[in-house]
Amino acid sequence: MIALSLTEITEAVNGALHLAGPAEAADQINGSVQTDSRLIEPGSIFVAKPGAVTDGHLFAPVAAERGAALLIVARTLDLPVTQIVVADAVAALGALAAAVVARVRAAGTLKVVAVTGSNGKTTTKNLLRSMLERVGPTVAPRGSFNNQVGAPMTMLEVTAETRFLVIEMGASSEGAIAHLVRLARPDVGIVLSVGLAHAGEFGDLDATVRAKSEMVTDLLETDVAVLNADDPRVAQMAALTPARIVRFGEYGQVDVRASALHGSRTGTTFTLHLAGGQSAPVVFRVLGEHHVMNALAAAAAAEVLGVSLPDIVAALEATTRAERWRMEVLGGKDDVTVINDAYNASPDSMSAALKTLAQIGTPGKRTIAVLGEMAELGELAGEEHDRIGLLAVRLNISQVIVVGRGARRMHISTINEGSWDGESAYVDTPDEAFELVRSSVNPGDTVLVKSSNSAGLRFLGDRLGDLFS
Protein backbone atom coordinates (compact mmCIF):
# COMPACT_ATOMS: atom_id res chain seq x y z
CA MET A 1 0.00 0.00 0.00
CA ILE A 2 1.08 3.60 -0.53
CA ALA A 3 2.33 5.35 2.60
CA LEU A 4 -0.45 6.90 4.67
CA SER A 5 -0.41 8.23 8.20
CA LEU A 6 -2.45 6.57 10.90
CA THR A 7 -4.63 9.66 10.95
CA GLU A 8 -5.24 9.45 7.20
CA ILE A 9 -6.12 5.76 7.42
CA THR A 10 -8.47 6.41 10.33
CA GLU A 11 -10.27 9.15 8.42
CA ALA A 12 -10.52 6.97 5.29
CA VAL A 13 -12.21 4.12 7.17
CA ASN A 14 -14.27 6.36 9.47
CA GLY A 15 -12.91 4.62 12.55
CA ALA A 16 -11.56 5.36 16.01
CA LEU A 17 -7.78 5.24 16.47
CA HIS A 18 -6.32 3.47 19.52
CA LEU A 19 -2.55 3.98 19.68
CA ALA A 20 -0.28 1.40 21.27
CA GLY A 21 3.21 1.83 22.70
CA PRO A 22 5.25 4.60 21.10
CA ALA A 23 2.99 4.92 18.05
CA GLU A 24 1.85 8.38 17.03
CA ALA A 25 -1.03 9.44 14.80
CA ALA A 26 1.39 10.92 12.29
CA ASP A 27 3.27 7.62 11.85
CA GLN A 28 3.34 6.39 8.26
CA ILE A 29 2.16 2.89 7.33
CA ASN A 30 3.11 1.45 3.96
CA GLY A 31 3.00 -2.32 4.44
CA SER A 32 0.69 -4.74 2.67
CA VAL A 33 -2.97 -5.05 3.66
CA GLN A 34 -4.03 -8.60 4.51
CA THR A 35 -7.12 -10.43 5.71
CA ASP A 36 -5.15 -13.67 6.19
CA SER A 37 -2.92 -13.61 9.27
CA ARG A 38 -0.57 -16.12 7.63
CA LEU A 39 0.40 -13.49 5.05
CA ILE A 40 1.30 -10.81 7.57
CA GLU A 41 4.83 -9.44 7.43
CA PRO A 42 6.43 -6.77 9.64
CA GLY A 43 4.67 -3.47 8.91
CA SER A 44 1.50 -5.01 7.42
CA ILE A 45 -2.09 -4.02 8.14
CA PHE A 46 -4.38 -6.83 9.29
CA VAL A 47 -8.12 -6.47 8.64
CA ALA A 48 -10.09 -8.69 11.01
CA LYS A 49 -13.04 -9.43 8.77
CA PRO A 50 -15.78 -11.95 9.58
CA GLY A 51 -15.59 -15.19 7.65
CA ALA A 52 -18.07 -17.83 6.57
CA VAL A 53 -17.10 -20.17 9.40
CA THR A 54 -14.84 -18.13 11.66
CA ASP A 55 -13.96 -14.59 12.79
CA GLY A 56 -10.84 -12.69 11.80
CA HIS A 57 -10.50 -11.33 15.33
CA LEU A 58 -9.48 -14.81 16.46
CA PHE A 59 -6.38 -14.55 14.29
CA ALA A 60 -5.38 -11.05 15.33
CA PRO A 61 -2.89 -12.38 17.94
CA VAL A 62 -1.10 -14.27 15.16
CA ALA A 63 -1.01 -11.10 13.06
CA ALA A 64 0.46 -9.21 16.02
CA GLU A 65 3.11 -11.87 16.57
CA ARG A 66 4.07 -11.73 12.89
CA GLY A 67 4.71 -7.98 13.10
CA ALA A 68 1.48 -6.27 12.03
CA ALA A 69 1.80 -2.51 12.45
CA LEU A 70 -1.95 -1.90 12.53
CA LEU A 71 -5.13 -3.86 13.15
CA ILE A 72 -8.47 -2.80 11.66
CA VAL A 73 -11.06 -4.37 13.97
CA ALA A 74 -14.71 -4.20 14.94
CA ARG A 75 -13.88 -4.19 18.64
CA THR A 76 -10.83 -3.27 20.71
CA LEU A 77 -8.53 -6.23 21.35
CA ASP A 78 -6.15 -6.70 24.25
CA LEU A 79 -3.06 -6.71 22.08
CA PRO A 80 0.02 -4.42 22.06
CA VAL A 81 -0.68 -3.21 18.52
CA THR A 82 -2.22 0.03 17.27
CA GLN A 83 -5.85 -0.54 16.30
CA ILE A 84 -8.55 1.28 14.37
CA VAL A 85 -12.03 0.27 15.48
CA VAL A 86 -14.67 0.39 12.75
CA ALA A 87 -18.33 -0.53 12.44
CA ASP A 88 -17.75 -2.97 9.57
CA ALA A 89 -14.32 -4.37 8.69
CA VAL A 90 -15.24 -5.29 5.10
CA ALA A 91 -16.69 -1.83 4.47
CA ALA A 92 -13.54 -0.31 5.99
CA LEU A 93 -11.38 -2.38 3.63
CA GLY A 94 -13.32 -1.02 0.66
CA ALA A 95 -13.16 2.55 1.93
CA LEU A 96 -9.40 2.34 2.42
CA ALA A 97 -8.98 0.92 -1.09
CA ALA A 98 -11.09 3.70 -2.58
CA ALA A 99 -9.03 6.33 -0.76
CA VAL A 100 -5.75 4.84 -1.99
CA VAL A 101 -6.90 4.66 -5.62
CA ALA A 102 -8.28 8.20 -5.51
CA ARG A 103 -5.01 9.53 -4.11
CA VAL A 104 -2.87 7.74 -6.70
CA ARG A 105 -5.17 8.84 -9.50
CA ALA A 106 -5.04 12.48 -8.38
CA ALA A 107 -1.26 12.44 -8.19
CA GLY A 108 -0.46 10.75 -11.48
CA THR A 109 -1.69 9.09 -14.67
CA LEU A 110 -3.52 6.08 -13.22
CA LYS A 111 -6.30 4.63 -15.39
CA VAL A 112 -8.76 2.08 -14.02
CA VAL A 113 -10.38 -0.67 -16.10
CA ALA A 114 -13.15 -2.88 -14.72
CA VAL A 115 -14.43 -6.13 -16.22
CA THR A 116 -17.67 -8.00 -15.55
CA GLY A 117 -19.77 -10.64 -17.28
CA SER A 118 -21.33 -14.02 -16.67
CA ASN A 119 -18.38 -15.72 -18.39
CA GLY A 120 -14.87 -14.76 -19.41
CA LYS A 121 -13.95 -12.21 -16.73
CA THR A 122 -10.70 -13.83 -15.64
CA THR A 123 -9.54 -14.59 -19.18
CA THR A 124 -10.24 -11.02 -20.31
CA LYS A 125 -8.53 -9.62 -17.22
CA ASN A 126 -5.41 -11.70 -17.90
CA LEU A 127 -5.28 -10.70 -21.56
CA LEU A 128 -5.77 -7.04 -20.72
CA ARG A 129 -3.04 -7.14 -18.09
CA SER A 130 -0.65 -8.63 -20.63
CA MET A 131 -1.46 -5.85 -23.10
CA LEU A 132 -1.21 -2.99 -20.61
CA GLU A 133 2.03 -4.24 -19.05
CA ARG A 134 3.68 -3.53 -22.39
CA VAL A 135 2.90 0.15 -21.89
CA GLY A 136 3.39 0.73 -18.17
CA PRO A 137 3.23 -0.72 -14.64
CA THR A 138 -0.04 -2.59 -14.24
CA VAL A 139 -1.88 -4.05 -11.25
CA ALA A 140 -4.46 -6.80 -11.78
CA PRO A 141 -6.08 -9.45 -9.56
CA ARG A 142 -4.46 -12.71 -8.63
CA GLY A 143 -6.81 -15.53 -9.60
CA SER A 144 -10.46 -14.52 -9.36
CA PHE A 145 -10.27 -11.76 -6.73
CA ASN A 146 -13.53 -10.17 -7.81
CA ASN A 147 -15.81 -9.71 -4.79
CA GLN A 148 -16.23 -7.08 -2.08
CA VAL A 149 -13.01 -8.30 -0.44
CA GLY A 150 -10.93 -9.43 -3.40
CA ALA A 151 -11.45 -6.30 -5.52
CA PRO A 152 -10.36 -3.88 -2.74
CA MET A 153 -7.35 -6.09 -2.02
CA THR A 154 -6.29 -5.65 -5.63
CA MET A 155 -6.90 -1.90 -5.50
CA LEU A 156 -4.65 -1.59 -2.45
CA GLU A 157 -1.69 -2.92 -4.47
CA VAL A 158 -1.39 0.25 -6.56
CA THR A 159 1.63 2.49 -6.03
CA ALA A 160 2.56 5.95 -7.19
CA GLU A 161 4.14 4.35 -10.27
CA THR A 162 1.10 2.30 -11.27
CA ARG A 163 -0.27 3.38 -14.64
CA PHE A 164 -3.09 0.86 -15.05
CA LEU A 165 -5.35 -0.89 -12.56
CA VAL A 166 -7.47 -3.78 -13.87
CA ILE A 167 -10.31 -4.94 -11.62
CA GLU A 168 -12.47 -8.01 -12.10
CA MET A 169 -15.96 -7.48 -10.73
CA GLY A 170 -18.24 -10.37 -9.90
CA ALA A 171 -21.58 -10.29 -8.15
CA SER A 172 -23.85 -12.60 -6.21
CA SER A 173 -26.64 -10.05 -5.85
CA GLU A 174 -27.89 -6.77 -7.23
CA GLY A 175 -25.92 -3.79 -5.97
CA ALA A 176 -22.61 -5.62 -5.60
CA ILE A 177 -21.07 -4.35 -8.84
CA ALA A 178 -22.43 -0.85 -8.23
CA HIS A 179 -20.65 -0.86 -4.87
CA LEU A 180 -17.33 -1.83 -6.47
CA VAL A 181 -17.78 0.72 -9.24
CA ARG A 182 -18.26 3.45 -6.66
CA LEU A 183 -15.05 2.38 -4.94
CA ALA A 184 -12.86 2.14 -8.03
CA ARG A 185 -14.42 4.76 -10.34
CA PRO A 186 -13.30 3.00 -13.56
CA ASP A 187 -12.36 4.99 -16.63
CA VAL A 188 -13.25 2.00 -18.81
CA GLY A 189 -16.01 -0.49 -17.96
CA ILE A 190 -16.27 -3.78 -19.87
CA VAL A 191 -19.37 -5.99 -19.98
CA LEU A 192 -18.73 -9.35 -21.62
CA SER A 193 -21.98 -11.29 -21.43
CA VAL A 194 -25.16 -11.95 -19.51
CA GLY A 195 -25.99 -15.60 -19.01
CA LEU A 196 -27.32 -18.07 -16.49
CA ALA A 197 -24.19 -18.29 -14.35
CA HIS A 198 -25.28 -17.73 -10.71
CA ALA A 199 -28.92 -17.53 -11.79
CA GLY A 200 -29.88 -19.24 -8.55
CA GLU A 201 -28.36 -16.39 -6.55
CA PHE A 202 -29.83 -13.56 -8.63
CA GLY A 203 -33.26 -15.13 -8.86
CA ASP A 204 -33.84 -14.72 -12.59
CA LEU A 205 -32.18 -13.53 -15.79
CA ASP A 206 -33.71 -10.04 -15.58
CA ALA A 207 -32.03 -9.55 -12.21
CA THR A 208 -28.74 -10.70 -13.73
CA VAL A 209 -29.10 -8.09 -16.48
CA ARG A 210 -29.75 -5.38 -13.93
CA ALA A 211 -26.74 -6.46 -11.88
CA LYS A 212 -24.35 -6.49 -14.83
CA SER A 213 -25.73 -3.14 -16.05
CA GLU A 214 -24.37 -1.58 -12.88
CA MET A 215 -20.95 -1.60 -14.55
CA VAL A 216 -21.96 1.18 -16.94
CA THR A 217 -24.76 3.18 -15.29
CA ASP A 218 -22.41 5.21 -13.09
CA LEU A 219 -19.77 5.88 -15.73
CA LEU A 220 -19.18 9.53 -16.67
CA GLU A 221 -19.39 11.16 -20.09
CA THR A 222 -15.59 11.13 -20.19
CA ASP A 223 -15.47 7.38 -19.54
CA VAL A 224 -15.80 4.48 -22.00
CA ALA A 225 -18.17 1.50 -21.89
CA VAL A 226 -16.89 -1.52 -23.85
CA LEU A 227 -19.90 -3.68 -24.72
CA ASN A 228 -20.42 -7.05 -26.41
CA ALA A 229 -22.59 -6.23 -29.41
CA ASP A 230 -23.25 -9.92 -30.09
CA ASP A 231 -25.09 -10.31 -26.78
CA PRO A 232 -28.44 -8.47 -27.05
CA ARG A 233 -28.70 -8.07 -23.28
CA VAL A 234 -25.31 -6.38 -23.17
CA ALA A 235 -25.87 -4.34 -26.31
CA GLN A 236 -28.97 -2.72 -24.82
CA MET A 237 -26.85 -1.34 -21.96
CA ALA A 238 -25.64 1.38 -24.34
CA ALA A 239 -28.88 3.22 -23.56
CA LEU A 240 -28.15 3.17 -19.83
CA THR A 241 -24.88 5.09 -19.72
CA PRO A 242 -23.64 8.57 -20.65
CA ALA A 243 -20.20 7.09 -21.42
CA ARG A 244 -18.77 6.74 -24.91
CA ILE A 245 -19.60 3.30 -26.33
CA VAL A 246 -17.09 0.97 -27.96
CA ARG A 247 -18.69 -2.20 -29.31
CA PHE A 248 -16.92 -5.49 -29.99
CA GLY A 249 -18.15 -8.66 -31.65
CA GLU A 250 -18.08 -10.87 -34.69
CA TYR A 251 -21.29 -9.67 -36.32
CA GLY A 252 -23.03 -6.47 -37.36
CA GLN A 253 -21.78 -2.92 -36.97
CA VAL A 254 -19.05 -3.08 -34.33
CA ASP A 255 -15.90 -1.11 -33.59
CA VAL A 256 -13.59 -4.01 -32.78
CA ARG A 257 -14.14 -7.33 -34.49
CA ALA A 258 -12.62 -10.61 -35.65
CA SER A 259 -12.84 -12.12 -39.09
CA ALA A 260 -11.57 -15.26 -40.82
CA LEU A 261 -11.74 -17.39 -37.66
CA HIS A 262 -10.30 -20.88 -37.81
CA GLY A 263 -10.25 -23.07 -34.72
CA SER A 264 -8.14 -26.15 -34.07
CA ARG A 265 -6.68 -28.08 -31.15
CA THR A 266 -3.78 -25.59 -31.06
CA GLY A 267 -6.01 -22.51 -30.74
CA THR A 268 -7.68 -20.06 -33.11
CA THR A 269 -6.34 -17.92 -35.91
CA PHE A 270 -8.24 -14.77 -36.85
CA THR A 271 -7.84 -11.26 -38.16
CA LEU A 272 -8.23 -8.54 -35.55
CA HIS A 273 -9.83 -5.26 -36.65
CA LEU A 274 -9.53 -2.28 -34.30
CA ALA A 275 -11.78 0.76 -34.04
CA GLY A 276 -9.08 2.99 -35.51
CA GLY A 277 -9.14 1.04 -38.78
CA GLN A 278 -6.01 -1.04 -38.29
CA SER A 279 -6.04 -4.80 -38.65
CA ALA A 280 -3.60 -7.68 -38.24
CA PRO A 281 -3.60 -11.49 -38.23
CA VAL A 282 -3.48 -13.19 -34.83
CA VAL A 283 -2.40 -16.69 -33.85
CA PHE A 284 -4.27 -17.09 -30.56
CA ARG A 285 -3.18 -20.22 -28.73
CA VAL A 286 -5.91 -20.21 -26.10
CA LEU A 287 -8.12 -23.17 -26.90
CA GLY A 288 -11.73 -22.51 -27.92
CA GLU A 289 -13.16 -20.03 -30.40
CA HIS A 290 -15.37 -18.60 -27.65
CA HIS A 291 -12.26 -17.05 -26.11
CA VAL A 292 -11.87 -14.84 -29.17
CA MET A 293 -14.65 -12.66 -27.76
CA ASN A 294 -12.59 -12.17 -24.61
CA ALA A 295 -9.63 -11.24 -26.79
CA LEU A 296 -11.76 -8.67 -28.62
CA ALA A 297 -12.96 -7.14 -25.34
CA ALA A 298 -9.41 -6.82 -24.06
CA ALA A 299 -8.20 -5.40 -27.36
CA ALA A 300 -11.01 -2.83 -27.42
CA ALA A 301 -10.16 -1.57 -23.93
CA ALA A 302 -6.44 -1.62 -24.63
CA GLU A 303 -6.88 0.48 -27.77
CA VAL A 304 -8.90 3.03 -25.78
CA LEU A 305 -6.00 3.23 -23.32
CA GLY A 306 -3.40 3.83 -25.99
CA VAL A 307 -1.91 0.38 -26.56
CA SER A 308 -0.66 -0.09 -30.12
CA LEU A 309 -1.88 -2.83 -32.44
CA PRO A 310 1.54 -4.58 -32.48
CA ASP A 311 1.55 -4.70 -28.65
CA ILE A 312 -2.03 -5.99 -28.56
CA VAL A 313 -1.22 -8.75 -31.04
CA ALA A 314 2.02 -9.64 -29.26
CA ALA A 315 0.15 -10.01 -25.96
CA LEU A 316 -2.51 -12.23 -27.53
CA GLU A 317 0.04 -14.45 -29.24
CA ALA A 318 2.11 -14.81 -26.06
CA THR A 319 -0.87 -16.19 -24.13
CA THR A 320 -1.08 -19.98 -24.14
CA ARG A 321 -3.93 -20.61 -21.69
CA ALA A 322 -6.85 -18.67 -20.31
CA GLU A 323 -5.97 -19.47 -16.68
CA ARG A 324 -5.22 -22.49 -14.54
CA TRP A 325 -8.06 -25.04 -14.95
CA ARG A 326 -9.66 -23.02 -17.75
CA MET A 327 -9.41 -24.76 -21.14
CA GLU A 328 -5.98 -25.89 -20.00
CA VAL A 329 -4.44 -28.35 -22.47
CA LEU A 330 -2.62 -31.26 -20.84
CA GLY A 331 -1.47 -34.73 -21.81
CA GLY A 332 0.24 -35.57 -25.08
CA LYS A 333 1.31 -39.16 -24.45
CA ASP A 334 -0.03 -41.48 -27.16
CA ASP A 335 -1.49 -38.33 -28.74
CA VAL A 336 -4.13 -38.17 -25.99
CA THR A 337 -5.20 -34.58 -25.31
CA VAL A 338 -6.78 -33.65 -21.98
CA ILE A 339 -8.63 -30.33 -21.68
CA ASN A 340 -9.07 -29.33 -18.04
CA ASP A 341 -11.83 -26.73 -17.89
CA ALA A 342 -13.26 -27.53 -14.46
CA TYR A 343 -12.75 -24.32 -12.52
CA ASN A 344 -16.27 -23.12 -13.21
CA ALA A 345 -19.24 -23.95 -15.41
CA SER A 346 -22.41 -22.29 -16.58
CA PRO A 347 -24.74 -23.41 -19.37
CA ASP A 348 -22.99 -21.03 -21.76
CA SER A 349 -19.44 -22.09 -20.89
CA MET A 350 -20.41 -25.77 -20.82
CA SER A 351 -21.93 -25.47 -24.29
CA ALA A 352 -18.85 -23.65 -25.59
CA ALA A 353 -16.51 -26.28 -24.15
CA LEU A 354 -18.49 -29.15 -25.70
CA LYS A 355 -18.56 -27.41 -29.08
CA THR A 356 -14.79 -26.94 -28.86
CA LEU A 357 -14.35 -30.63 -28.05
CA ALA A 358 -16.43 -31.62 -31.05
CA GLN A 359 -14.51 -29.23 -33.27
CA ILE A 360 -10.96 -30.24 -32.34
CA GLY A 361 -11.31 -33.99 -32.01
CA THR A 362 -8.98 -35.94 -34.28
CA PRO A 363 -10.90 -37.46 -37.23
CA GLY A 364 -11.46 -41.16 -36.63
CA LYS A 365 -10.67 -40.87 -32.92
CA ARG A 366 -12.98 -40.47 -29.95
CA THR A 367 -14.07 -37.41 -28.04
CA ILE A 368 -14.76 -38.00 -24.33
CA ALA A 369 -16.59 -35.48 -22.12
CA VAL A 370 -16.28 -35.92 -18.36
CA LEU A 371 -18.97 -33.61 -16.98
CA GLY A 372 -19.91 -32.54 -13.48
CA GLU A 373 -22.52 -30.31 -11.94
CA MET A 374 -23.17 -26.72 -13.00
CA ALA A 375 -23.75 -25.06 -9.63
CA GLU A 376 -25.78 -22.01 -8.59
CA LEU A 377 -28.52 -22.39 -11.22
CA GLY A 378 -31.37 -22.52 -8.72
CA GLU A 379 -34.69 -23.71 -10.14
CA LEU A 380 -33.19 -23.74 -13.65
CA ALA A 381 -30.69 -26.47 -12.74
CA GLY A 382 -32.76 -29.42 -13.95
CA GLU A 383 -33.65 -28.13 -17.40
CA GLU A 384 -30.17 -26.73 -18.01
CA HIS A 385 -28.48 -30.02 -17.16
CA ASP A 386 -30.99 -31.71 -19.49
CA ARG A 387 -30.07 -29.29 -22.25
CA ILE A 388 -26.35 -30.01 -21.91
CA GLY A 389 -26.98 -33.75 -22.08
CA LEU A 390 -28.95 -33.32 -25.29
CA LEU A 391 -26.26 -31.05 -26.74
CA ALA A 392 -23.58 -33.68 -26.12
CA VAL A 393 -25.61 -36.19 -28.12
CA ARG A 394 -26.31 -33.77 -30.95
CA LEU A 395 -22.62 -32.84 -31.18
CA ASN A 396 -21.90 -36.56 -31.55
CA ILE A 397 -19.52 -36.66 -28.59
CA SER A 398 -18.24 -40.25 -28.53
CA GLN A 399 -18.43 -40.83 -24.79
CA VAL A 400 -20.02 -38.86 -21.95
CA ILE A 401 -19.09 -39.63 -18.35
CA VAL A 402 -21.31 -37.80 -15.86
CA VAL A 403 -19.90 -37.43 -12.34
CA GLY A 404 -21.92 -36.79 -9.17
CA ARG A 405 -25.59 -36.71 -8.24
CA GLY A 406 -25.90 -33.00 -8.96
CA ALA A 407 -25.19 -33.67 -12.64
CA ARG A 408 -27.06 -36.98 -13.03
CA ARG A 409 -29.81 -35.46 -15.16
CA MET A 410 -27.26 -34.93 -17.93
CA HIS A 411 -26.78 -38.69 -18.05
CA ILE A 412 -30.53 -39.36 -18.07
CA SER A 413 -31.00 -36.85 -20.89
CA THR A 414 -28.37 -38.47 -23.09
CA ILE A 415 -30.05 -41.85 -22.62
CA ASN A 416 -33.52 -40.45 -23.32
CA GLU A 417 -32.29 -38.88 -26.53
CA GLY A 418 -32.15 -42.45 -27.81
CA SER A 419 -29.20 -41.98 -30.13
CA TRP A 420 -26.69 -44.03 -28.17
CA ASP A 421 -26.22 -47.45 -26.65
CA GLY A 422 -23.89 -47.25 -23.66
CA GLU A 423 -22.02 -44.14 -24.74
CA SER A 424 -23.17 -42.31 -21.61
CA ALA A 425 -22.00 -43.50 -18.20
CA TYR A 426 -22.77 -42.25 -14.72
CA VAL A 427 -20.41 -42.50 -11.72
CA ASP A 428 -20.67 -41.06 -8.23
CA THR A 429 -17.07 -39.98 -7.68
CA PRO A 430 -14.08 -38.48 -9.51
CA ASP A 431 -12.05 -41.59 -8.62
CA GLU A 432 -14.54 -43.78 -10.49
CA ALA A 433 -14.41 -41.40 -13.45
CA PHE A 434 -10.61 -41.59 -13.47
CA GLU A 435 -10.63 -45.37 -13.60
CA LEU A 436 -13.27 -45.38 -16.34
CA VAL A 437 -11.27 -42.98 -18.53
CA ARG A 438 -7.99 -44.74 -17.81
CA SER A 439 -9.38 -48.12 -18.82
CA SER A 440 -11.16 -46.97 -21.96
CA VAL A 441 -9.12 -44.19 -23.56
CA ASN A 442 -7.37 -44.96 -26.85
CA PRO A 443 -4.41 -43.27 -28.55
CA GLY A 444 -5.49 -40.07 -30.30
CA ASP A 445 -8.57 -39.50 -28.15
CA THR A 446 -9.47 -36.05 -26.80
CA VAL A 447 -10.81 -35.78 -23.23
CA LEU A 448 -12.67 -32.77 -21.83
CA VAL A 449 -13.16 -32.37 -18.06
CA LYS A 450 -15.77 -29.70 -17.30
CA SER A 451 -17.72 -28.75 -14.17
CA SER A 452 -18.26 -26.04 -11.62
CA ASN A 453 -15.50 -25.54 -9.07
CA SER A 454 -17.58 -27.09 -6.30
CA ALA A 455 -17.70 -30.44 -8.11
CA GLY A 456 -13.94 -30.82 -7.68
CA LEU A 457 -13.28 -32.21 -11.14
CA ARG A 458 -10.35 -29.86 -11.75
CA PHE A 459 -8.21 -32.26 -9.72
CA LEU A 460 -9.49 -35.14 -11.83
CA GLY A 461 -8.38 -33.17 -14.88
CA ASP A 462 -4.91 -32.78 -13.38
CA ARG A 463 -4.72 -36.53 -12.65
CA LEU A 464 -5.67 -37.36 -16.22
CA GLY A 465 -3.19 -34.83 -17.54
CA ASP A 466 -0.44 -36.44 -15.46
CA LEU A 467 -1.49 -39.90 -16.62
CA PHE A 468 -1.03 -38.98 -20.26
CA SER A 469 1.98 -36.67 -19.92
Segments in 418-455 forming alpha helices (H): 430-440
Cα 420 to chain centroid, rounded: 36
In sign, the C-alpha dihedral spanning 260, 350, 394, 399 is positive
Segments in 66-149 forming alpha helices (H): 89-107, 121-132
74, 85 Cβ separation under 8 angstroms: yes
φ, ψ for residue 282, nearest 5 deg: -130, 135
φ, ψ for residue 13, nearest 5 deg: -100, 0
Which helix H or strand E contains 389, and what residues bound it?
Answer: helix 381-394
Segments in 185-263 forming alpha helices (H): 199-202, 205-217, 232-235
Task: For the chain, give percent helix, strand, coil, nearest 5.
Answer: 40, 20, 40
341, 384 Cβ separation under 8 angstroms: no
DSSP state for residue 348 in the 8-state scheme: H
Q: Which residues pair with 34 in a beta bridge?
A: 46
* Residues 6+ positions from 108 with CB-CB distance below 8 Å: 160, 161, 162, 163
183, 97 Cβ separation under 8 angstroms: yes
Feature table: binding site for ATP: 117-123
Feature table: binding site: 117-123
What gap in Å lies between CA 386 and CA 407, rounded to an integer? 9
330, 137 Cβ separation under 8 angstroms: no
What gap in Å lies between CA 77 and CA 63, rounded to an integer? 12
